[in-house]
Amino acid sequence: MRAQHTYSYGIVRVVPRVDRGEFINAGIILWCPKSSVLEAEILLDKKRLQAIAPDIDIDTISNHLAMIPAICRGDEACGSIAKMSPVQRFGWLTATRSTVIQTSPIHIGQCGDLALVMKQLIASLVLVSGKS
């Protein structure tokens, strides 16, 4: 039997017009303290985003979203945030915001395989088809 890992995750959302509250899910941020795993996977569906926000600057949004996995890794190019501990980076990334890129409330789960759970979360919460 595999060891159970308790993990927390937030769904990365793109909210083109905060006043309207419409959004699309664009990724997952996953934190497991026991394994010291902090990772993110971003899969922006540009066609879906343009459908709800035809005038949005996709390149700028994509560039900002690309920073999330880099922050998770503690990439020095991310500045002072990279020097924070993984749990502090997770807290910073998932803090409540009223901006175009937001995260959902934090959810908690348990699993035996973190890589598998990331695939399952992406398939069920980010991909429209539900298939990776």
Report the distance separating Cα 48 and Cα 62, nearest Å: 14
Which pLDDT score, from 0 to 100, does residue 98 have?
87
Number of domains composing the chain = 1
**Is residue 1 pLDDT above 60, yes or no?**
no
Residue 80 lies in a domain: yes
Residue 130 lies in a domain: no
Q: What are the E-state strand segments in 17-100?
A: 24-32, 37-42
pLDDT tens digits for range 4-59: 999 999 999 999 998 888 999 999 999 999 999 999 999 999 999 999 999 999 99
Identify the helix (H) or strand (E) that includes residue 7.
strand 5-14
Residue 129 lies in a domain: no
Residue 17 lies in a domain: yes
pLDDT tens digits for range 57-94: 999 999 999 999 999 999 999 999 989 999 999 999 99
- For 62-67, the CB contacts below 8 A with 24+ separation are 64/100, 64/101, 65/12, 65/14, 65/26, 65/27, 65/101, 66/42
Q: Give 2's pLDDT tier (boundaries 50, 70, 90).
A: low
